[in-house]
Structure 1
Amino acid sequence: MPDLTYAAASADLGAYLAVPLGEGPWPGVVVIQDALGLGDDIREQADRLAAAGYLALAPDLYSGRGLKCVVATIASSRSGRGPAFEDIEAARRWLQAREDCTGRIGIIGFCMGGGFALLSAPRFAFAAASVNYGEVPSDTSVLAGACPVVASYGRRDRMMPGRAARLERALTEHGVEHDVKEYPDAGHSFLNRINTGPLLGPIAHVAGVGYHHPSAEDAWRRILGFFAEHLAAPAA
């Protein structure tokens, strides 16, 4: 499916849409990029969701708007403020309005996108959220009222130490249905096939960054099972 544009709050943004085979309607999932942007890896994540029966829309939160936009978007994923959140909500509404969508929408994010997915869970009308090595706010009271959350972290992730435990405690405290798991042999971005190249590869390894197939496959098993439970029913 070719790239498209949709009307967001900040501008007309680019996006990638992955459509399941057969006839809908299907549940939808908004797929939020990592800090590297809407690249082939994020498109492959959307394709995997489409293969599982979800109408998957991956918005390009940068959309070629330059370094200032990139820096502001990354900061927004941690602060919980900024127009990127309304851009994500516009993507949710765009999916919901499609005739081939059931109206039940989930959200999934990776790294920066994981932070957006977590902070969007209590803010917008998502039915489920998948948070993958996303930042967890220090003030976890903002997570009260969140939709069900499935979250995956790597114990070897030097950028997110202790986040899985913090998120587990917060979601339990606020009575949010959840499945949080920390994989002992995985690091940061263990679900993403990022091409670091021969120069950055050793640095990424030392930093605890990189794809880890066994952990990634188990995380996808949990994500798809969680989405099947929470997104399969039609919207009220």
Structure 2
Amino acid sequence: MLGLDGLLPEQLSRRGFVVMTALMSGFTMATAHAQANPPVKTPADGLVAGEVKIPVKDGDIPAYRAMPEGAGPFPIVLVIEEIFGVHEYIKDVCRRLAKAGYLAVAPELYARRGDISRVTDVQALLRDFIAKTPDAEVMSDLDATAAWAAQHKGDAQRLAVTGFCRGGRAVWLYAAHNPALKAGVAWYGPVGGQTSPIQPKTALDVAGELKAPVLGLYGGADTGIPVASVEELKKKAQAAGKTVELEIFPDAPHAFHADYRPTWRKEPAEAGWKLMLAFFKKHGAA
């Protein structure tokens, strides 16, 4: 796999490689101080929800799955985490999607790097987890998650993806990767930034290669993602005949959907959620 050799800790074997063997409870330690708002808690009544294992090329990774009770098949949404792991906020997003009729599954994409729940420093997360996770590995793990979902009451013909922050970046990349995808929704995903041998392209680089429609939800007050760069991505994609829609919430900062953080903004978060569900339905992923 691209750039993977030499990145895995020496103590890991080719099988059973996962350092983080189970999902965390609550929130990542790196974000514990940021819980200024009472996080949204979606009940699991009427749902089948909990931790599962996703078979991938070199072992298994933990994931959180939520879906309605019943026979299915249900449309699938892959939920891509922020940099903080599959913690309670991401799990709740899965339950919210399940309440809307989806089989939602969030794989722990950084499980090979170590136990993300114990990391207290954001810079350590960026250095030791994010920067060391190859994009090719992420794409392969998302493919494996979609395949698992299709075998567990999911409908492979109605496949969507959504993600937040770094996960939003992965939405753009996955939309350029998987021709079976019906729709993607990127919540404030970076479109530019530095590249590396294991992360060779930005979202802007793949704008002309999209294989599915993408909706980008961005904040006009996001100091890290200039609106001009998102507009540039849209123009590049449309010039190549691709479908990209943008919704810019003028006063919203970065991470405006993250209800456990001070950046949460109720109205843009709720409006973006409605737009996401409508976008999935419009493009055959509902």
Please confirm whether the aligned pair reaches a TM-score higher than 0.5, indicating the same fold: yes
CA contact (8 A) 2:159 2:285 kept: no
Structure 2's unaligned 5+ residue stretches are 1-48, 117-123, 193-201
User: Residues 172-227 of structure 1, C-alpha deviation per residue, up to 9 Å, x if partnerless?
Assistant: 122222221111010100011234xxxxx5xxxxxxxx111110111111100011
- 1:93 corresponds to 2:147: yes
Rg larger for:
2
The whole-number CA distance in structure 2 between the counterparts of 1:115 and 1:101 is 24
Change (3 A) 1:139 1:126: closer
- Residue 204 of structure 1: aligned partner: none
> Which of these residues, 269, 272, 275, is aligned with residue 219 of structure 1?
272
The whole-number CA distance in structure 2 between the counterparts of 1:72 and 1:93 is 28
Q: Aligned to 1:44, what secondary structure does the other structure show?
A: helix
- 1:2 corresponds to 2:50: yes
Q: Aligned to 1:19, what secondary structure does the other structure show?
A: strand
CA contact (8 A) 1:9 1:83 kept: no
Aligned sequence identity (%): 32
Q: Aligned to 1:121, what secondary structure does the other structure show?
A: helix
- Residue 74 of structure 1: aligned partner: 130
Change (3 A) 1:160 1:95: same
Structure 1's unaligned 5+ residue stretches are 196-200, 202-209
Q: TM-score, normalised by structure 1?
A: 0.83
Map residues 188-203 of structure 1 onto 2, 5 A cutoff.
188-195=254-261
The whole-number CA distance in structure 2 between the counterparts of 1:76 and 1:27 is 32
Q: Aligned to 2:246, what secondary structure does the other structure show?
A: strand
- 1:105 corresponds to 2:159: yes
- Residue 108 of structure 2: aligned partner: 60
- 1:14 corresponds to 2:79: no
Aligned length: 217
The whole-number CA distance in structure 2 between the counterparts of 1:32 and 1:69 is 16
- Residue 93 of structure 2: aligned partner: 45
The whole-number CA distance in structure 2 between the counterparts of 1:84 and 1:11 is 14
The whole-number CA distance in structure 2 between the counterparts of 1:211 and 1:14 is 27
Instruction: Give the deviation of 1:73 after TM superposition.
Output: 5.1
Q: Aligned to 2:101, what secondary structure does the other structure show?
A: coil
The whole-number CA distance in structure 1 between the counterparts of 2:236 and 2:127 is 28
The whole-number CA distance in structure 1 between the counterparts of 2:80 and 2:86 is 8
CA contact (8 A) 1:5 1:14 kept: yes
The whole-number CA distance in structure 2 between the counterparts of 1:231 and 1:141 is 26
CA contact (8 A) 2:220 2:252 kept: yes
Q: Aligned to 1:61, what secondary structure does the other structure show?
A: coil
User: Residues 47-99 of structure 1, C-alpha deviation per residue, up to 9 Å, x if partnerless?
Assistant: 1111111100000112373278864652378xx7341221111111211233x
- Which moved further from structure 2: 20-29 or 105-114? 20-29
- 1:180 corresponds to 2:236: no
- Residue 115 of structure 1: aligned partner: 169
The whole-number CA distance in structure 2 between the counterparts of 1:148 and 1:166 is 16
Instruction: Give the deviation of 1:26 after TM superposition.
Output: 1.0
Q: Aligned to 1:231, what secondary structure does the other structure show?
A: coil
- Give, as a single letter, the amino acid of the residue that structure 1 aligns with 2:237: L
The whole-number CA distance in structure 2 between the counterparts of 1:120 and 1:73 is 19
Instruction: Report which of the two has the higher share of helix.
Output: 1
Q: Aligned to 1:134, what secondary structure does the other structure show?
A: coil
CA contact (8 A) 2:63 2:105 kept: yes
- Which moved further from structure 2: 10-19 or 160-169? 160-169
> Which of these residues, 155, 160, 171, is aligned with residue 237 of structure 2?
171
Q: TM-score, normalised by structure 2?
A: 0.69
- Give, as a single letter, the amino acid of the residue that structure 2 aligns with 1:222: L
The whole-number CA distance in structure 1 between the counterparts of 2:284 and 2:131 is 30
The whole-number CA distance in structure 2 between the counterparts of 1:167 and 1:72 is 29
Q: Aligned to 1:2, what secondary structure does the other structure show?
A: strand
The whole-number CA distance in structure 2 between the counterparts of 1:76 and 1:64 is 10
Let me know the Cα RMSD of the aligned residues: 2.3
